[in-house]
Structure 1
Amino acid sequence: MVYTYRLAALLVLLFATVGFSSAMMDEQPFRPSSISLNYSLSVTKNNISLNYSLSVKKDNISLNIVWYGKFKPIQRSVIVDFIRSINYSETAAKGPSVASWWKTTEKNKGSASTIVVGKQHILEDYPLGKSLKSPHLKALSGKLNGGGVGSITAVLTAKDVAVEGFCMNRCGTHGSKSSSLDGGAYVWVGNSEEQCPGYCTWPFHQPLYGPRSPPLIAPNGDVGVDGMIINLATLLVNAVNGDQEPASFCVDRFGSGAYPGYAGRVLVDKTTGASYNALGLAGRKYLLPAVWDPQAAECRTLV
C-alpha cells in the first residue's frame, strides 16, 4: 500500500494551522442529535481531495448495508460481526477490542456513538452492471428506505465489480446520500482481492511499491474481506467525525512502532499465525487502523 507522504505531511501542516486550531477555538457545545453538511479533507491512496461530506453526530447510528455483487455468507458474517463488535464491550476484559478501538472516536467528537446494524439489501444480480461510477454509489445508498438523520448506509461491492477511481486513487469513500440534511450519510468500500490487493489490502499483501516485507496473515483468512474491514473502519470513523477525518491522519499504522512499509507491532494468533490488534464477538479477530487522539496529539493504536 503506497501513500504520498509528502502530501500527507502537507495535510498535517494545513490542519495544524487551520483545522485543529479552528476546532479548539469553536466553543459551541456538542449537540448529539445534530448533523452538518460540510467540507472535509479526504485522504485516499496517492491522492488528497477536498469534497463535501456529511458529518453524522448522533448517539445512536443505524448502519444499513447494501451488498452489491456476490458475497459468500461467511464474508457477510465477518463484516457484520465487526459492526456488531463495536458495541460489544465484554471482549475488552480479554484484551484490546473493537469496542475499545471505537471508543477513541469520542475524544474527537465529544461523545461516543453507538452503531447498530440496520437493514441489509443483497443485490447479487448486478442490476447496475459490473462497472460503476460515483453517482451509482449514491443511488445504491438510497436503496434502503428509512434511516435519515443519524443513519449511515454502507455500499459494499464484490471483488468483480469495478468502481470509478477504485484501485487508482481510492479504496473507498464517504459522503451524503442526498443534498437534504436529513438524508443521512453513506460509505462505499470495494473488495480489492483480485483488482489491486497490493493497493487496498496492505498489510495482507505486498505493496505495489516501497519496502517488500512479507505480508501479514489476514485474521479471518480472507485477504479481500479483511482489507475491506480496514477501509470500512477508517471510513466509519471519518463519517462520524466529518469535520476532522481523524483516521486519515494515521494511515498504515496498526501497532506501536509503525512506519511506512511496517504495520507496527501487532498481536499474532499462535494457532493460525494471523495478525490482529482487536478482539470481536464470536471469537473473531480484526486488524484495525490507528485513530488520531487529540488529547495526546498522536495516532493511538490498540497495541
Structure 2
Amino acid sequence: MAKFDSHFITLVSFLLIIFYIGLPCSATAPRKLALVQPQPLVLKYHNGPLLKGNLTVNLIWYGKFSSIQRSIIIDFIQSLSSKSRTSHPSVSSWWEITGRYKGGPCTITLGKQIFDQSYSLGKVLTPSQLVVLSSKLPHRNAINVVLTSADVAPDSFCMSSCGAHGSDLAGKHKKIRFAYAWVGNPEKQCPGQCAWPFHQPIYGPQSPPLIAPNGDVGVDGMIMNLATVLAGAVTNPFDNGYFQGPVDGGLEAVSACTGMFGSGSYPGYPGKLLVDRDSGASFNAYGIRGRKYLLPAMWDPKTSACKTLV
C-alpha cells in the first residue's frame, strides 16, 4: 500500500503555560511562564528490511516535460551519490544521512527511463495505475519513480499528498517485492501546498515566496518532494522500517521534518538559507554541474532530531 508523504505546511506553535507556585490561586500569587518542551522526535524501527547497497532509480516520465525540466531532475538524482567535487553543503551530504539508519548507506545510480508523452492511461491516474506504470521497469535493487507533468492529476494529488511511495509484487510468480514512488508537478494545481516556499502558502503567513534555484517553481517543488519520497522509500520501503504513528500516513525520515529547510526554521519560515548572488534564488545544497537545490530537513537517527544542511 502506498505511503503518502505530503509536503504541506504544518502550523505548529509553542504553548505558554502559566502556573502558580505556593499559595492557592490569587491576584498576588507569584507566577512563572514556562515553555512546554516538545517531546523528542523518535522514528521507531519496526524491524523490517531497508533498501541498502547499490540502488538504481528508474524513471517514468508521464506527460510532457521539457528537456530543461528533465535535466534538473536527472542532475538531482545523479547528485545523490556523486563523488564529484561540489561545494559544501552538497546533495550527497544530505543523502548520507540515510546511511545512519540501520543497514548502512546506499548509493543511487540513474537507471532506465520511459517516456510516456501520449498519456497512455489518461490524465487522471488512480493509485493502481501508478503501480502499473512503475512495474514497466526493472524491479531488483531499484526504486521505480513515476513523474507526472503539470497537466496530470493523480488521485489525491493536492488533496492529501504531493508525492507517494509504496511497494508491490512483480515477476512471473509475483514473488519479487519492489519499491516505487510517484511525484507530481504542482505548478498549476497546488503550488501553495507542494511548492512552498517558492510559492505563497494557501494557509498561514503570506510572506513573499522565495526565488526557485532552477527558475522553475513546479520542478523545484518536485525536487523537494522527490527527496522526501526517496528518503522514505529507502528507510521504510515495505511499511515496516522507520516511522512514527500509523502504518498508513505515519511520519517518516523527511515528512517528520515538514517545513524545515534551514536553521532557525519555524512555521511559515523555512529557516536560514543560502542565496545566489546573481539570481537571488534560495537554496541549501549544491549538486553536480553547478546545480543548486533546496532540500528538506531529514531526521537523523544518531541525534533523534531533524537535521538541516545550513
**TM-score of the alignment, normalized to the shorter chain, above 0.5:** yes
Gaps of 5+ in 2: 1-7, 14-37, 243-251
TM-aligned CA deviation for residue 3 of structure 1: 2.8
Question: Aligned pair count?
Answer: 263
Tell whether 2:296 aligns with 1:289. yes
1:230 to 220, 224, 228: 224
TM-aligned CA deviation for residue 13 of structure 1: 6.7
Counterpart residue number, 2:139: 147
Q: For residues 81-96 of structure 1, what are the structure 2 equivalents within 5 Å?
A: 81-92=75-86, 94-96=87-89
Tell whether 2:193 aligns with 1:193. no
**TM-score if structure 1 supplies the norm length?**
0.82
Q: More helix per residue: 1 or 2?
A: 1
Q: For residues 139-218 of structure 1, what are the structure 2 equivalents within 5 Å?
A: 139-144=132-137, 146-148=138-140, 150-178=141-169, 180=174, 182-218=176-212
User: Alignment identity in percent?
Assistant: 52
Tell whether 2:243 aligns with 1:272. no
**TM-score if structure 2 supplies the norm length?**
0.80
1 or 2 for the larger relative contact order (CA 8 Å, sep ≥6)?
2
Tell whether 2:66 aligns with 1:75. no
Gaps of 5+ in 1: 7-11, 27-35, 37-54
Tell whether 2:105 aligns with 1:98. no
Amino acid at match of 2:67: P
Counterpart residue number, 1:9: none
RMSD over aligned Cα atoms = 2.0
Tell me if structure 2 keeps the 8 A contact 1:56–1:185: no
Tell me if structure 1 keeps the 8 A contact 2:51–2:233: no
In 2: Cα distance, 1:199 partner to 1:235 partner? 16
Return closer, same or farther for 1:4/1:187 CA change in 2, 3 Å cut-off. farther
TM-aligned CA deviation for residue 201 of structure 1: 0.4
State the SS of the aligned residue for 1:193. coil
In 2: Cα distance, 1:201 partner to 1:289 partner? 12
Tell me if structure 1 keeps the 8 A contact 2:283–2:293: yes
Tell whether 2:54 aligns with 1:60. yes
State the SS of the aligned residue for 2:84. helix
Residues 169-221 of structure 1: CA distance to partner in whole angstroms, max 9, x if unpaired? 10110001327562310000000100011011001000000011111110000
Tell me if structure 1 keeps the 8 A contact 2:40–2:305: no
In 1: Cα distance, 2:12 partner to 2:148 partner? 28
Amino acid at match of 1:164: D
